[in-house]
Amino acid sequence: MTTATVRHQAGHVELIIDGRLVASVPWEQAQQLHRVIHAQAKRAEEWAKAEQIARDQAMLIRAGANIGLTSHPLIQAEAKKVAEWNRQLRRAMPGIKSEEQFGAPSLRQTGPKLQA
């Protein structure tokens, strides 16, 4: 099993794997690397949890809450699709009550046609 250790040595940050020094970077670069790795890790997590995020976003859409959980266009598109077409979700969350108005139609029936 691989063991990794991160430590600092004077003004450098060192990465040691299995007892061997594999990287030694100045502290400024180490902080920059940290930010990049953190950002990429968040994006990777978003992709790994895309299905759950899409479902949660779909619920917010049906609830009429204009809150975005992701800026990823593919996940947004999937959320929109789920909100519109998932039958269980549509049944559980019928949506915002419609405000349309109807006229008052009337039906008129004539007597049956007589056979000649």
Query: Phi first, then psi: what are they for 56, rounded to 5°?
Result: -65, -40
Name the residue type at position 44: A
Q: Decide: residue 57, CB within 10 A, 0-12 exposed, 13-18 middle, 19+ buried.
A: buried
Q: Does 19 bind other proteins (CB under 8 A)?
A: no
Q: Does 104 bind other proteins (CB under 8 A)?
A: yes
Q: Does 35 bind other proteins (CB under 8 A)?
A: no
Provide the 10 A C-beta neighbour count for residue 55. Answer: 15
Q: By CB under 8 A, which span of 20-28, 46-54, 70-78, 94-102 interacts with other proteins?
A: 94-102
Q: Please, which residue, 2 or 98, has the CB nearer to other proteins?
A: 98
Which residue among 12, 55, 72, 90 contacts other proteins (CB under 8 A)?
90
Beta-carbon contacts of 18 under 8 Å, excluding residues fewer than 6 positions away, are: 2, 3
Q: Please, which residue, 3 or 106, has the CB nearer to other proteins?
A: 106
CB of 67 to other proteins, least distance (A): 20
